[in-house]
Structure 1
Amino acid sequence: MHYFISLLLYRILLLLLLPVLIVVLLLRSINHPQYRYRIFERLGFVNSDFKIGGIVIHAASVGEVIALKSYIELLLQQAPELIITFTTFTPTGSAQVKKLFADRVQHCYLPLDIWPCSWLFLKALAPKAVVLMETELWPNLIAQCHQRGIILQLINGRLSDNSINSYRKLSWLIKPSLQSFQQILAQSSDNQKNFIALGADAEKCQVSGNLKYDLHISETVRKKALLLAQFIAKQRKIWLVASTHPGDEELVLASFAQLKVKYPELLLVLVPRHPERFESIYQLCLAQGFQSIKRSTERPVTSENDIWLIDSLGELLPLCGLADIVTMGGSFSSIGGHNPLEPALFKKPIVVGHDMKNFRAVMKQLTAKQGIMQLTTRDSYSRVQMTDALTQAVDQLLQQPQMMEQLGQQAFNVVQANQGASEYSVQALLALVKH
């Protein structure tokens, strides 16, 4: 009874907050207009042409969509009769779904976790199963799926030690949600233990491995890499800094200024994480005195250009193929880093900052096999100290080609040794659906 009262209060609270959430979306659309489009999908209204009775698979944004690529490709191959509705929350995630799968899947936004919205969504699609990912735990949606007898699978389950402490404060809501899943497939035994400690049924909680290891260099990616290589008029060493957040660029540009003294031919390829920051980062590069060029201009990168700013989407993976050294953004502050496995797939040496908490299991394996270089800085370090540490790491690699090659090969070996989670997860879902 306590759970039902809690769920009712949760539903009432979010219903009261609905106008506020809509205003937040509209405010966010000032810098990113796509947030104001398709707003009815966020309220639970589904395209009337959508087929019903299939499977809903949700990925929050771009990184999760890419991680699910192998999983969905396998589903399309092994169960072509199943109708797949692939949902996201962000416009960039939506664009990635359309790019990867076109009309092979149905696509819309997952509605807000508010009772009328999710009720409309589930009524319209009448899915056999709903597949959520990592820590996407939406109590209202989960409760409605449970009430309707819809199969629930959580894949690539991730629950860190820090997260479990936060979730325990909401255990009255989260524990029943976890117990509603027919299956929870965790990335590692540590994650599995945390799910069980939070209240998940131990018999339904298994270790499947990490979907993000199931990367492959497709022919499309190879062709795109060749296309991008043609933009660089002269062969030069390339330092790719990927998925940067506010604060990362200032740090990287300060380091780059130091490196350019010793390596004047070095090209910095900068990939901001969020499209709405493309222009401000371009202006920052110019203000720092760097000859910079945008990818969107479609002009060649000449020997006079210091920085190639990638103001486009979906080109990070092929860019890894061009780089000599890759640094992952979001790892120098409290963001928690971004996926280092993409450059590892191309056997590239990877340098990251001190904060990679979003990828603890991956970092543990890469570090154990000496497949990554992590800076020993901390939040308490000054920007000057962080800059010097980053400069020294990149300089060390540029001076030692053999070290670069060895680091990249060892990272690649880790990727190869850990693949298979997609196949495991697909077989587990099909067993549930066809049971």
Structure 2
Amino acid sequence: MARHLYTLIYSLFLPIIIARLWWRGRANPGYRQRVAERFGFLPHRPRPGGLWVHAVSVGETLAAAQFVKQFMEQNPNTPVIITSTTPTGSEQVKRIFGERVFHMYLPYDLPSFINRFIKNIQPGALVIIETELWPNLLASCAKHDLPVVLANARLSEKSARGYAKLPALTRPMLHSLSVVAVQNPTDGQRFIELGLPTGRMKVTGSVKFDVTVPEDCHKQGVALRGQWGADRPVLALASSHPTEDEQLLDIYPALEKAIPGLLLLLIPRHPERFEPVTNAARSRHLHVHRRTNGNVSDDIQIYVADTMGEMLNMLAAADVVVMGGSLYPGGGGHNPIEPAALGKATLIGADHINFTSIVNELTEAGAIAVCESLPALQDEVIRLLRDSIAREAMGHKGLDVVESNRGAVAQLLALVKEQLSD
């Protein structure tokens, strides 16, 4: 009954959802492309029995990358279908996998669209990356006897409270899951308290610790620094959201006064923000350069990374990294494992609820510093940029944490293999 009411409400709001999609296409034209896929009409027809992986956007796609690559190596004859929700997620799939996988947008969560999609691709199992739970998606999977693995699952206390308010929707969804591979026992217990059968919960750790740094990544970082001035100190703000770039731009004069020659590297999370971030720097009368503008002049103060897929190379060029998504209320934070895997001194803001357990482990090891306010962030940036020994020590500790936590991908591969063979 609850799901039918949800379906009715979703149907009534669908015109607004579509209008919002079209509106977002003003800034990112990708939202106006391949719209038919969102209604379950497929551009591809893979062989039946493939592995379907749903990775909603950029972060989830990056988290899934090593798992998918290793699955394809071990199962070369099994087609892989990856669905996304956002154009930026789609671009990441194409960048990482090219034509080696079938990529489509996930249909809207209405039974007719989801059932059409599943009937056409006839997958052998679905792997959902992190906690992207949709009532009709999971009900349709149950209807088609499709095993579902919730991988790299996390569930914050806040999210758990939200799910708990809708038990008539939450419990059926959790009972539709074959396995929930959680990042840590605390989050696993939250799933169980919401109704997940105990035997279906497995603690595997985070697949993000299995990040692979490309062989030429550090070389690319050195090349970038050569363009900027090899001896210049570099502060990076990674995966930034609205207001975060502005916060760093506001304290940049004080930072530059304390650290002469400082270059601030801004890496917006979404491409529609490249222009606003550039304008924000110019409005403060700072010398700004964009990655796509070619040669760099010696007097630049702000460098805007206005390309996608170069995050690791950019971070490899930095001395200190500030993780975005954490400097404003409700942001939740972004993955601090990538700069740690590069051996970079890393800072994160007060709101990192999406990565609480990871941040706690890195903090306890001295591999990351949590800054509760902008003044605290400013002080910590200055301290680290002045103290190369402290920076390097923090970076080495981060590497140690990453290396000691590898192995989640192998466990996930084993779980998925069991579901495909059943």
TM-score, normalising length from structure 2? 0.97
Q: 1:100 aligns with which of 96, 106, 122?
A: 96
CA distance in structure 2 between the aligned counterparts of 1:56 and 1:354, rounded to whole angstroms: 35
Alignment equivalent of 1:331, drawn from 319, 326, 349: 326
1:360-386 deviation line (CA, Å, top 9, x unaligned): 010110111111111133xxxxxxxx2
Shift in Å, 1:55: 1.5
User: Does residue 243 of structure 2 align to residue 247 of structure 1?
Assistant: yes
CA contact (8 A) 1:214 1:420 kept: yes
1:344–1:411 contact (8 Å) kept in structure 2: yes
TM superposition shift of 1:16:
2.5
Aligned AA for 2:64?
Answer: L
- In 1, Cα distance between the equivalents of 2:225 and 2:160? 44
The match for 2:57 among 61, 75, 78 is 61
1:343 corresponds, among 333, 339, 344, to 339
Equivalent residue runs for 1:248-287 within 5 Å: 248-287=244-283
Shift of 1:24: 1.3
Q: Report the CA distance between 1:13 and its aligned residue.
A: 2.2
Q: Is 2:398 the counterpart of 1:407?
A: no
Q: Structure 1 residues 249-258 or 5-14, which shifts more? A: 5-14
Residues 147 and 178, structure 2, Cα contact 8 Å, conserved in 1 = yes
Alpha-carbon distance, 1:274 to partner = 1.6
Q: 1:49 to 1:203 in 2, by over 3 A?
A: closer
Task: For 1:228 and 1:79, locate their aligned partners in 2 and report how far apart those are by CA, in whole Å.
Answer: 38
Deviations 1:399-424 (A, max 9, x none): 21111111111111111111111110
1:49 deviates by 4.2
Provide the secondary structure at the position in 1 that maps to 2:350: coil
Q: Confirm or deny that 1:397 pairs with 2:355.
A: no
Deviates more, 1:185-194 or 1:327-336: 327-336
2: CA distance between counterparts of 1:321 and 1:14? 44
Distance apart, 1:32 and its partner CA: 1.3
Of 130, 147, 154, the residue aligned with 2:150 is: 154
Structure 2 counterpart of 1:422: 409
Indicate the SS of the match to 1:342. Answer: helix
- For residues 342-367 of structure 1, give each alpha carbon's deviation from its aligned partner in whole angstroms, at most 9, with x where no partner exists: 11011110111111111101011011
Q: Deviations over 1:87-140 (max 9, x none)?
A: 110101100000100111110111111111111111110111111121111110
Q: Verify: 1:354 aligned to 2:341, yes or no.
A: no
Give the equivalent residue in structure 1 for 2:303. Answer: 308
Tell me, what secondary structure is at the counterpart of 1:336?
A: coil
Aligned with 2:410: secondary structure? helix
- Provide the TM-score with structure 1 as the length reference: 0.94
Which amino acid counterpart does residue 112 of structure 2 have in structure 1? P
Distance 1:314 1:282, change over 3 A: same
Paired letter, 1:326? V
The answer (yes or no) to whether the contact 2:322–2:347 under 8 Å persists in 1 is yes
The amino acid that maps onto 1:310 is: A
Conserved 8 A contact 1:255-1:390: no
Structure 2 counterpart of 1:35, which letter?
Y
Choose from 373, 376, 386 the match for 2:372: 376
Classify 1:79/1:220 alpha carbon distance in 2 versus 1 (closer, same or farther; 3 Å): farther
Would the alpha carbon gap of residues 344 and 218 (structure 1) be closer, same or farther in structure 2, given more than 3 Å must change? same
Q: Deviations over 1:185-223 (max 9, x none)?
A: 111000110000000010011101001111111236456
Larger deviation: 226-235 or 56-65? 226-235
Indicate whether 1:90 and 2:86 are aligned: yes
One-letter code of the match for 1:80?
A: P
Segment of structure 1 superposing worse, 16-25 or 97-106: 16-25
Structure 1 match to 2:284: 288
Q: How does 1:34-183 map to 2 (within 5 A)?
A: 34-183=30-179
| 8 Å CA contact retained: 2:45, 2:120 | no
Flag as ranges the 4+ runs of structure 1 deviating above 6 A.
Answer: none
* Corresponding residue of 1:18: 14
Amino acid across the alignment from 2:379: Q
User: Is 1:265–1:303's contact at 8 Å kept on the other side of the alignment?
Assistant: no
Superposition pairs of residues 208-247 of structure 1, within 5 angstroms: 208-219=204-215, 221-222=217-218, 224-225=220-221, 227-247=223-243
- Report SS of the residue matched to 1:264: coil
- Report how far residue 292 of structure 1 moved: 0.7
More deviation in 263-272 or 189-198?
A: 263-272
Q: Distance in 1 between matches of 2:77 and 2:62?
A: 23
Tell me, yes or no, if the aligned pair for 2:259 and 2:386 is still in contact at 8 Å.
Answer: no
Tell me how far 1:303 sits from its aligned partner: 2.3
Whole-angstrom distance in 2 between the partners of 1:393 and 1:293: 26
Instruction: Kindly indicate whether the alpha-carbon contact (under 8 Å) linking 1:234 and 1:303 is maintained by their aligned counterparts in 2.
Output: no
Q: After TM superposition, give the deviation of residue 230 of structure 1 in Å.
A: 4.5
Partner of 1:381: none
For the residues of structure 2 that align with 1:252 and 1:233, how far apart are their CA atoms?
Answer: 21
Deviation at 1:237, TM superposition (A): 1.0
Give the conservation status (yes or no) of the 8 Å contact 1:196–1:202. Answer: yes
8 Å contact kept, 1:70–1:214: yes
- Per-residue deviation, 1:287: 1.3
Counterpart code for 2:258: K
CA 1:109–1:374: 2 relative to 1, 3 Å? same
SS in 2 for 1:326: strand
Looking at structure 2, the residues matched to 54 and 238 of structure 1 have their Cα atoms a distance apart, in angstroms, of 45
Aligned equivalent of 1:189, options 185, 190, 194: 185
Corresponding residue for 1:431? 418
Conserved? CA contact 2:48–2:124, under 8 Å? no
Change (3 A) 1:415 1:103: same
CA–CA distance in structure 1, aligned partners of residues 324 and 44 of structure 2? 41
